[in-house]
Structure 1
Amino acid sequence: MRVFFSKLMRGIESTRTVVLNLVFLLVLTFILVSLLNARPSLPDKVILQLDLNGVVVEQVNRPDFGLSSLTSPEPNQVLVGDVVAALKRAAKDERVLGVRLDLQELSQASLPHLEEIRTAINTFKASGKPVMAYAEHWTQPQYYLAASANQVFLHPMGHIALHGFGVYRNYIADALAKLDVDVHVFRAGKYKSAAAPLIQNEMSAAEKEADAGWLNTMWDVYKQGLFEMRGLDAARLQEVLDHPAKYMREYGADLGKLFVAEHWIDGLMYAEQADAHLLQTAGEGELVAYKDYLRASGQSFMPAGPGSADNWVGVIMGSGQILGGEQPSGTIGSDTMLEQLRIALDDERVKAVVLRLNTPGGSALASETIRHAVEVLRQAGKPVVVSMGNMAASGGYWIASSANEIWASPATLTGSIGVFGIVPNVNRSLKKLGVNTDGVGTTKIAGSMRLDMPLSKEMGDAVQMSVNQIYQQFIQHVADGRNLPIETVQALAQGRVWSGRDALANGLVDKLGGVHDAIDAAAALANLKDFEPVQIDPPKNALDVLVDNLLSETSAMFGVSANEHSIFAGLLQTLQNQMAMSAQMLQMNDPRGVYALSEMGLAE
């Protein structure tokens, strides 16, 4: 009896401890959410500090919280919608006297995202308020935003790292051969190069031709932007960048003098001198970070909830690789996006939908599942407009093909109409180690897809036929959705990547513009004059909301500073790129092993 009561008391004590811990976690969660959502007060006169720290994204990317988060931590994340919202709000706010661009911690941003922020900066400047940019040095993406300021100042020993765009990949066919690893790649499309690094040792002529096409377009867009912002002649800029040593000699290797002479900047100053200049121009004001300003003003990219209007344009965000099933923010899960599309379908207040895509593609099956849901929405009388971000290629374009309209930025990467499958095999490698595989099956193909058994010709032919059939299905969807002849689509397909500008010329997109242009277009298709854009998110629990807020508000615990541009940082980046490619492959979950995925590594 004593033993019974002893166990009973221990059980009660354990239950009490668990309950108390749960209550503590709930209280802690409530406190953290309250702190994150608390509205700070604003001073009467404000200088808005656009302190962009991290990678510019459209959705918070939920990282892996395992051991990999310590060895390869997620960088800080800057939501482009928040930046745009802060600038647009500040343009109308009499308390805001000017903007200071602090961009040195901006580690990565695509050209379309930079264009969106630049447009918002222009909106602010149109209000008659000054914008000043200052730094000790700028990278290429950082300088593109800095150039949009009324006045651009650099540290006397500062540097601007402009060097154009490029695509360089590590090819590991020889390395795999030395390890006796066989990789069978089945692809449809002359330019489909996502798996090329596994079976080649260098870039093919076809790949160089295709990549050069969209790279040149992006570089043209970048140079045109600098011309519009700073009056920099494109030919002159190209000449200076192609022959930097020649022009440095003219100024005694003094980069500051070169930058001033070429009108890349307005002057050389120390930080306190630049700040004094801004206060003299704009007036005395207190520096307020843009995130604090957003919290204080209660503004965001999309309304937190619907207003009085019953005519809604639903906005669904999709970023990351396309995978089957339910997936967290930062990836596009077919079940997750289906739920969002069903909400838009069932809610009578949603009259039209904008699907914002920023994805390299992914599972062919998941892409088709989402495309069909878009088609169902259209058939129900609700127009769908796809707005492409940095990239909406391969599976992303598969989804977009059924929309009423497709909008893209001139520098968007899209197309890549092609598919592939990968079957790796380590049979020879294992044999070298003395590991042999043997057994018996009820059919000739039983066990034929095992990694430790050779791939038979029969199965190889079957996989290639499956890839070819899915490729033809992809082409047919594009032909039907875009109202183009099959022959035209076949010529534009072959896995080739197109810039948004070239995609418009080829009929693959309808208009050039950002997400707000797409929202207006969707409203027009639904004949709406009075409407509200409302973001449609998948259902989230309290923990999801807390994690998303923490990731968008706080710094990564072991993050690498954007300022670390040493050769060692470059080597580390190369290793991280290889790990990222491996992680992407491990994520792939298409049941047929066939993918509409585009792989583009842009060197900026």
Structure 2
Amino acid sequence: MSATHATTPRRRGPITRVVAGAWNALDFSRRLVFNLLFLLLVIVVLFALATAERAHPLLDRTTLVIAPEGALVEQFSVDPVTRSLGRMTGQDTAEVRLRDLLLALESAKDDKRIERVLLRTDRMAFSGYASLREVAAAVTELRAAGKQVVAFGEYFDQAQYLLAAQADEVYMDPQGGMVLEGLGRYRQYYREGLQDKLGVDIHLFKVGEFKSAAEPYVRDDASPESKQADLFWMNDIWQRFLGDVARARKLDAATLAAGIDTMPAGIEAVGGDLARYAVEQKLVDGLKTVEELQLLLAERGVADEDSDSGVREITMDAYLKHVTSPLADADARPQVAVVVAEGQIMGGQQKPGTVGGESTSSLLRAARDDEKVKAVVLRVDSPGGEVFASEQIRREVVALKAAGKPVVVSMGDLAASGGYWISMDADRIYADESTITGSIGIFGMFPSIPRTLEKIGVHTDGVGTTRFAGAFDPTRPLQPEVGQVIQSVIDKGYREFTGKVASARNRTVEAIDAVARGRVWSGAQAKERGLVDEFGGLRTAVADAARRAELGDAGKWRLRYVEKPLSPFESFVSGFASSRAGQSLLGRSEFVHGLLAKALPQAEQELRFVEQTLSRGGNPVKAVVHCFCMP
């Protein structure tokens, strides 16, 4: 009896049975989901193996088609995973990297399989003339190597045309057009709207009569100093533009300039036909449709019935797969590292397209700690931003030099204000003659809105333990003594800025102050004033860095971009999504397409830099080194 009782299982209570049942159901669901995911992964791998992507064959007498769409940038503004998935869902960010464009042109120069290059510049957007002139120089070198370059466009703006003009022949669609108009810089001014209409008082504190970045918030028009400085550097860049076009098209620069002044009468004389007017001005060689251009290229090159264009051709993206090595990371040669600082300078960790005080500093630190890296090129394309974030980056430049690694700065289209702050301690500073730089000045702004609140019947009142408690509350009027504190901080920042520049450039503070005061210069003007060392683009800066590190001939070292590394999973997703197999499997699936579209992060609306700066926490008195100085 007792033995039988001992073997009888104990009954579980109702609560225990419910919990156990729920757990078993959860465990079953977990295993089912993982098994389904595993099965999906197996299918994906098998499909990838069955449809393994092969490189586009590169045959002799091939035409390289360089027709990138989007903005020319130093680095992509989205991560590789998002970019790859975006391509499949039709939400790709329209950007082309300068380094990729230069690599394609440089490689084609010595590639016997490339017979000619078709250049479509009308699909590109340029933010400045320095990087554009660097690409133009690469096209000129390509032609000097004996490769024919044909440019085509439907419509050209003047920046697109500057690059197209470097080709042997320039053709335009008969319905197209172009207008050279000159450089202008016009901004909106908000004082009346903010102060008179809304009652928002913007208190501006600055050093430098030419520091005009914040003028729109306190004026209704540009100051005389702003107009004087802007016209000075814009005229320099514009005259260089005319000279570059005239040299490429074998024209006279003065005649080009005169043609702009007489443009209305000239266009009227051809019946408003902009394309015909461009031909008469000798800016283009002829008018052709895309089909007519393709027939011309087929006659000169090799016809290909399998090609959509009827010409044996290869796209830039496909060509880059032939000239880049997938084993680059295993290369044991010493390295010249490039760290890109593109965009506004903000504190903390920032995504690509914005310079982060911490994120960019960590990249420089990684280059310092990497034994393979022997020299660093800091590529700067920035209007500046926060003082402290700029100083964080500058300190890393100094630390690299202290570690025995040369640092060379290559300025892109814009390296002004905070962009100059992070550049000044380099061993050598290179800039294009049309780079925008300088703007060594500093400002701060404080908005107060008590009059705004009064308009809707809201008032602020209370008490504080000291006379300055709550002094930085924007709903209260700004006390004159608090304004004095802010101006003292700004003055100190300017002394630091000019003092550091003087020390870095081996000049007196007085000499730097004379060319500072917030004034913007072209690269050519900056070199005349000792703010820039040499003219040259990224390639020139890289070669100088290698020479300073005594790395020998180009084949004995390699170039490496230091960027935030991808995780193994991110690498897999990015690689697969970029492959033909991934695009075939995922791109054709409406279900997967919908899931990816929902999973992709939505683009955030850009906020004004001043609003971003004011919204960041921390010190209520914050100095800013920023330049709104693009035409």
Shorter-normalised TM-score: what interval? 0.7 to 0.9
Contact 1:352 1:383 (C-alpha < 8 Å) held by counterparts: yes
Do the aligned partners of residues 421 and 306 (structure 1) sit closer, same or farther apart at CA in structure 2, a change above 3 Å counting? farther
SS of 2:78's partner is coil
Partner residue of 2:200 out of 181, 187, 195:
181
Structure 1 residue 298 and structure 2 residue 329: aligned?
A: no
SS of 1:101's partner is strand
1:600 corresponding residue in structure 2: 629
CA distance in 2, matches of 1:373, 1:136: 46
CA distance in 1, matches of 2:44, 2:241: 44
1:42 corresponding residue in structure 2: 57
* Cα distance, 1:13 vs structure 2: 5.8
1:564 corresponding residue in structure 2: none
CA distance in 2, matches of 1:74, 1:583: 28
* Cα distance, 1:356 vs structure 2: 0.7
Aligned letter for 1:388? M
* Cα distance, 1:259 vs structure 2: 1.9
Structure 1 residue 144 and structure 2 residue 180: aligned?
A: no
CA distance in 1, matches of 2:577, 2:630: 25
CA distance in 1, matches of 2:121, 2:247: 20
* Cα distance, 1:532 vs structure 2: 2.3
Aligned letter for 1:276? L
1:83-117 per-position Cα deviation (integer Å, ceiling 9, x unaligned): 11111112222222211112232133421121121
CA distance in 1, matches of 2:457, 2:77: 43
Structure 1 residue 171 and structure 2 residue 189: aligned?
A: yes
Do the aligned partners of residues 407 and 33 (structure 1) sit closer, same or farther apart at CA in structure 2, a change above 3 Å counting? farther
CA distance in 2, matches of 1:421, 1:552: 45
The aligned runs of 1:226-265 (5 Å cut-off) are 226-265=245-284
* Cα distance, 1:528 vs structure 2: 2.6
The aligned runs of 1:370-519 (5 Å cut-off) are 370-519=393-542
* Cα distance, 1:190 vs structure 2: 0.9
Runs ≥4 residues deviating over 4 A: 13-35, 542-554, 576-590
CA distance in 1, matches of 2:40, 2:220: 52
1:196 corresponding residue in structure 2: 215
* Cα distance, 1:38 vs structure 2: 5.4
* Cα distance, 1:243 vs structure 2: 2.2
CA distance in 2, matches of 1:191, 1:299: 48
2:103 corresponding residue in structure 1: 85
Contact 2:415 2:438 (C-alpha < 8 Å) held by counterparts: yes
CA distance in 1, matches of 2:434, 2:568: 37
1:270-324 per-position Cα deviation (integer Å, ceiling 9, x unaligned): 2222222223334444232211211244369xx9436342x32221111111111
1:438-476 per-position Cα deviation (integer Å, ceiling 9, x unaligned): 333333222221222222222111111001001100000
Contact 1:365 1:590 (C-alpha < 8 Å) held by counterparts: no
CA distance in 2, matches of 1:292, 1:496: 44
Contact 2:127 2:413 (C-alpha < 8 Å) held by counterparts: no
CA distance in 1, matches of 2:49, 2:627: 41
Do the aligned partners of residues 293 and 255 (structure 1) sit closer, same or farther apart at CA in structure 2, a change above 3 Å counting? same
> More deviation in 255-264 or 475-484?
255-264
CA distance in 1, matches of 2:40, 2:444: 45
SS of 2:422's partner is helix
SS of 1:424's partner is strand
Contact 2:165 2:248 (C-alpha < 8 Å) held by counterparts: yes
CA distance in 2, matches of 1:350, 1:61: 25
* Cα distance, 1:426 vs structure 2: 2.0
Contact 1:42 1:296 (C-alpha < 8 Å) held by counterparts: no
Identity %: 36
1:536 corresponding residue in structure 2: 562
Aligned letter for 2:531? L
SS of 1:276's partner is helix
1:124 corresponding residue in structure 2: 142
Aligned letter for 2:383? P
The aligned runs of 1:567-586 (5 Å cut-off) are 580=608, 585=613
2:291 corresponding residue in structure 1: 272
Contact 2:178 2:275 (C-alpha < 8 Å) held by counterparts: no
2:132 corresponding residue in structure 1: 114
SS of 1:305's partner is helix
SS of 2:329's partner is coil
Contact 1:38 1:295 (C-alpha < 8 Å) held by counterparts: no
* Cα distance, 1:27 vs structure 2: 8.7
CA distance in 2, matches of 1:392, 1:437: 43
Question: Unaligned regions of 5+ residues in structure 1, if any?
Answer: 555-575
CA distance in 1, matches of 2:271, 2:335: 61
Contact 2:442 2:623 (C-alpha < 8 Å) held by counterparts: yes
Question: Unaligned regions of 5+ residues in structure 2, if any?
Answer: 1-15, 304-310, 581-603
- Cα RMSD (Å): 3.3
* Cα distance, 1:26 vs structure 2: 8.4
Structure 1 residue 327 and structure 2 residue 350: aligned?
A: yes
Structure 1 residue 222 and structure 2 residue 241: aligned?
A: yes
Structure 1 residue 154 and structure 2 residue 165: aligned?
A: no
How many matched pairs? Answer: 571
CA distance in 2, matches of 1:27, 1:221: 59
Contact 2:128 2:630 (C-alpha < 8 Å) held by counterparts: no
CA distance in 1, matches of 2:44, 2:214: 43
Larger radius of gyration: 2
Contact 1:29 1:546 (C-alpha < 8 Å) held by counterparts: no
1:543-580 per-position Cα deviation (integer Å, ceiling 9, x unaligned): 766898899999xxxxxxxxxxxxxxxxxxxxx99955
Contact 1:357 1:389 (C-alpha < 8 Å) held by counterparts: yes
* Cα distance, 1:222 vs structure 2: 1.1
TM-score by structure 2 length? 0.83
Do the aligned partners of residues 249 and 289 (structure 1) sit closer, same or farther apart at CA in structure 2, a change above 3 Å counting? same
1:54 corresponding residue in structure 2: 70
CA distance in 2, matches of 1:421, 1:484: 27
Do the aligned partners of residues 262 and 471 (structure 1) sit closer, same or farther apart at CA in structure 2, a change above 3 Å counting? same
SS of 2:229's partner is helix
* Cα distance, 1:197 vs structure 2: 0.8
